Amino acid sequence: MKVQKVTLKDVEIRERNGEFERVFVNEKTYPAFLTNYTLKRGKELGYIESSLFSELAKLQHLQDLEEKNGELSLAALEGFDESKALQIIYLAVTGANRKLELSFDEFLEKYHDSFEKTMTLYANLIADLVASDQNQFAKGLKKSTKHNHKKKPNRHQ
């Protein structure tokens, strides 16, 4: 599983030469990754309603469109909810940093990445989870579909 990085920082508004500007302070970078526990917690909080596999499929479709057309249209992004992506990122940060006590609202106050970076991070988190879970998924599926090949007595006469 690849560990992603998320930088959280506070924003201050300062006046300089009669103009206001945003200044970022208290910057700190945290590891972020999804686990089975964070997925469970996300479902309990209502952050995850559908399978992340289906989200990954949507993201893959967008990437395919972008590669085919050379650009990504805004219409293609219409089905994506940035707040859902932020919730997944929040789960990944707080799941990887169990001692970090940060509510979702506090996280949003400190997370300042662009839409593009947010969607890229979101896609990477899901892809990393799927890639690391792929072998476990395949083993579980094989085990659950394994048939007992012992000959059963025929009860019909």
pLDDT for the residue numbered 75 = 53
Residue 71: C-alpha distances to residues 62, 119, 127 (Å):
10, 15, 21
Structure confidence at residue 48 as a pLDDT band (50, 70, 90): confident
Say if CB 91 and CB 47 are below 8 A apart. yes
pLDDT for the residue numbered 126 = 84
For 111-157, the pLDDT digits (tens) are 999 988 998 898 888 888 777 655 544 444 444 444 444 444 555 55
For 16-26, the pLDDT digits (tens) are 999 999 999 99
Per-residue pLDDT for 56 more than 80? no
Percentage of residues of the chain with pLDDT beyond 70: 63
3-class DSSP state of 147 = coil
pLDDT for the residue numbered 119 = 84
Say what the pTM is: 0.71
